[in-house]
Chain A
Amino acid sequence: DAGVTQSPTHLIKTRGQHVTLRCSPISGHKSVSWYQQVLGQGPQFIFQYYEKEERGRGNFPDRFSARQFPNYSSELNVNALLLGDSALYLCASSIGLAGVYEQYFGPGTRLTVT
């Protein structure tokens, strides 16, 4: 079975631009979560979507938004990029709500903001 997939693998953007990252969960998983991992740190929770509804939000500014589609895939959008947004963005899927069910992670999207 395919695991969690993310696209693109790498991305280079300029300050002030907008970016969209995409994630496809494991088949049968209804929950998708997004995490930001800055170099040298553990992943930080951004959002969780379950059955197309936002079910959790981390301490990130409103420049960050996400949505989940009827096929349970998800997009993470970041507006007005800052240098500090450079990080590895990880998507994770689970059968049920994150925190209670184990999450399976994709390979990540490496975003570099110049």
Chain B
Amino acid sequence: AQSVTQPDIHITVSEGASLELRCNYSYGATPYLFWYVQSPGQGLQLLLKYFSGDTLVQGIKGFEAEFKRSQSSFNLRKPSVHWSDAAEYFCAVGADVEYGNKLVFGAGTILRVKS
């Protein structure tokens, strides 16, 4: 079965510091991978996606993620965090028709930014 693990429930970083959010996935084929961000009481906004090709993908708001097949990981990074980045971040793997046509989400990582 497909699954996504986000090992860190909470992360606190100082404004201006770098950020890395971890994501590990389990999937039986070439994965489609996504990172979403959710502000309190709101829906999910797509930050970036990996379908194939270059393993380092760029997204919105200065975020990037690197796909590492050997480690089954898709970690999200940002070189300098802004206070407005405080939110909850979800990693997801896309399951195609063979696996149910759906997104399987991790439990999320709550990012706190201290000034």
Contacts and interface: CB of A to CB of B under 8 A. Distances in A.
B44 A99 contact: no
- Interface residue SS majority, chain B: strand
Contacts of B105: 35, 42-44
Interface residues of A, number: 29
B101 A42 contact: no
B107 A99 contact: no
Interface in B6-57: 32, 34, 36, 41-46, 49
A34 to B, nearest CB: 10
A104 B4 CA distance: 19
Given A100-B32, A108-B42, A42 B102 contact: no
Given A41-B107, A42-B90, A43-B90, A98 B43 contact: no
B32 A108 contact: no
A45 B94 contact: no
A99 B41 CA distance: 24
Interface string A32-65: 0101000011111100101000011110000000
Contacts of B106: 42
Interface of B: 4, 32, 34, 36, 41-46, 49, 90, 92, 94-97, 99-108
Interface of A: 4, 33, 35, 40-45, 48, 50, 55-58, 90, 92, 97-100, 102-108, 110
